[in-house]
Homo-oligomer: A and B are copies of this chain.
Amino acid sequence: MATNVEATPEATALLPRRPLRADARQNYDKLIAAAREVFAEEGTAASLEEIARRAQVGIATLYRRFPTRQDLLEATYLEEVEAISSSAADFDGLAPWDALVGWLRRYVAFAATKRVLAEELLAYVDRDSEMFKTCSGAITAAGEPLLRRAQDAGVVRPDTSFSDVVRMVSGIAAIRATEPEQIERILDVALDGLRYQPS
């Protein structure tokens, strides 16, 4: 995950934060990492003490940094968005098709936890709040170039927008499948649809 230095060059400023003491910053990162794991495993109703335990941090440390469950949820969500956005750069070296698909596959894993976090956040935050707008903007800025590159190279049909693709993948990621391989199969088919050239 993105380390928590306050002046990262490519920082999208999703998480504006004052400088923390070194130990505090480490604990912050450990808490977010643990929260992402536990929320993914047990849903948003997961025990905060379990998160603190897994982060090997006292429960009070968790509450000091995140006074509310919402605060922890929101920070985890923003870290996820930041991670999926900045991960687009990891695929720069690959061929256009492989780069796009590689990122989208990563997006599936991201979308699964993102959806449940977002659902919970929406109970307290407005859907078209500054936060959600910034997030969707960051994701578009990260992924749209991958799509355009693939389209310019002729390996993806030109009549699809980034929004189309992301929503298609999000929809597939949200399928309640009994076996996880099913998601894989469906995703494969759908991605093949992107290569199809309409006559």
What is A's interface to B at a CB cutoff of 8 Å? Answer: 43, 45, 119, 122-123, 126-127, 176, 178
Q: For A178, what are the chain B residues with a Cβ–Cβ distance below 8 Å? A: 126
Shortest beta-carbon distance, A130 to chain B, in Å?
15
Q: For A126, what are the chain B residues with a Cβ–Cβ distance below 8 Å? A: 176, 178
Number of copies of this protein chain within its complex: 2
Q: Are the CB atoms of A176 and B45 closer together than 8 Å?
A: no
Q: For A119, what are the chain B residues with a Cβ–Cβ distance below 8 Å? A: 119
Q: Are the CB atoms of A122 and B45 closer together than 8 Å?
A: no
The CA-CA distance from A123 to B45 in the complex, in Å, is 13
Q: For A43, what are the chain B residues with a Cβ–Cβ distance below 8 Å? A: 123
7 sample A-B contacts, Cβ–Cβ < 8 Å, listed by A number = A43-B123, A45-B45, A119-B119, A122-B176, A126-B176, A126-B178, A127-B176
The CA-CA distance from A127 to B176 in the complex, in Å, is 8
Shortest beta-carbon distance, A48 to chain B, in Å?
14
Q: For A45, what are the chain B residues with a Cβ–Cβ distance below 8 Å? A: 45
The CA-CA distance from A123 to B122 in the complex, in Å, is 19
The CA-CA distance from A138 to B178 in the complex, in Å, is 26
Centre residue among A45, A126, A127, A176 by max chain B CB count within 10 A: A176
